[in-house]
């Protein structure tokens, strides 16, 4: 899979040093000033997605925003996405899997209910591959992502600027706590995902997302409790790299 020509590893430490102590808005502004239209953001239109989308709309409203529609999202998620798209006038790019859910289920069954290999294949086909296709189509060299250290062990180990699959990965709100997120939302009157108060504190596909209680990790309800990470924010495995190459990306 071709990767953009970027000044990567030798510049990561310098970039992290430069951005240390800066606000989320300043980090977004730095990224856009460095990479222009080739800086791309992503969103899941999840529980707290309005935060990053509001920040982007204030700093750089023309920035492309990628939304992966797996075909299995809750109806509330689709309506929430349209609400935020209109409110923030997002430059939204919606990507879907190359194989429909109906066809995949007919040929391979409900992968998300199968063993680890089935779950991994489902996540690759319905999330990872469409995201990689979007990044290729948009000629992305810098990816703005709203992940936070509190969310998973992997995210807790990330720096503010990293490299993932040959692209710069920038995390403007990486260090924000849940309290800071909620305070920002209150200050700017931003909406939570409509299912949040029904216990869906982390929202994915309808077939494999479970509500959680306050004493549980919010992401314990994702993929029926089998996975905290959907794969989008993890480096590609060798098998995934080969799959993408064979698909023409």
Q: At what angle do helices 75-88 and 50-59 cross, to 10 degrees?
A: 20
Residue with tokens 């309290």: 179
**From the CB of residue 229, how many other CB atoms can be counted at a distance below 10 Å?**
17
Respond yes or no: is residue 230 known to be catalytic.
yes
CB 4 within 8 A of CB 164: no
Residues 57, 91: Cα–Cα separation, whole Å: 9
Cross-sheet strand order for the sheet of 64-68: 91-95, 64-68, 39-43, 142-144, 167-170, 161-164
Which listed residue (55, 73, 230, 244) is catalytic? 230
**SS3 category, 36:** helix
Q: Please give the positions annotated as active site.
A: 230
């Amino acid at each position: 899979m071709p990767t953009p020509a970027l000044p990567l590893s030798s510049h990561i430490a310098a970039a992290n040093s430069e951005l240390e102590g800066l606000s989320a808005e300043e980090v977004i502004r730095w990224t856009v000033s460095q990479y222009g239209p080739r800086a791309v953001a992503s969103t899941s239109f999840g529980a707290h997605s309005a935060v990053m989308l509001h920040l982007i709309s204030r700093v750089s409203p023309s920035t492309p925003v990628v939304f992966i529609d797996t075909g299995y999202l809750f109806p509330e998620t689709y309506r929430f996405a349209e609400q935020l798209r209109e409110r923030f006038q997002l430059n939204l790019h919606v990507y879907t899997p190359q194989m429909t859910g109906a066809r995949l289920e007919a040929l391979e069954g409900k992968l998300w209910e199968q063993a680890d290999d089935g779950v991994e294949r489902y996540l690759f086909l319905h999330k990872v591959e469409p995201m990689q296709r979007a990044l290729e189509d948009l000629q992305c060299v810098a990816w703005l992502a709203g992940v936070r250290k509190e969310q998973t062990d992997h995210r807790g180990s990330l720096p503010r600027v990293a490299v993932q699959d040959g692209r710069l990965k920038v995390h403007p709100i990486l260090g924000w706590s849940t309290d800071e997120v909620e305070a920002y939302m209150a200050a700017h009157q931003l909406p939570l995902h409509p299912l949040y108060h029904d216990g869906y504190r982390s929202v994915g596909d309808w077939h494999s997302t479970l509500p959680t209680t306050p004493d549980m990790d919010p992401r314990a309800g994702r993929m029926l409790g089998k996975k905290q990470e959907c794969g989008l924010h993890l480096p590609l495995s060798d098998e995934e790299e080969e799959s993408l190459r064979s698909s023409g990306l």
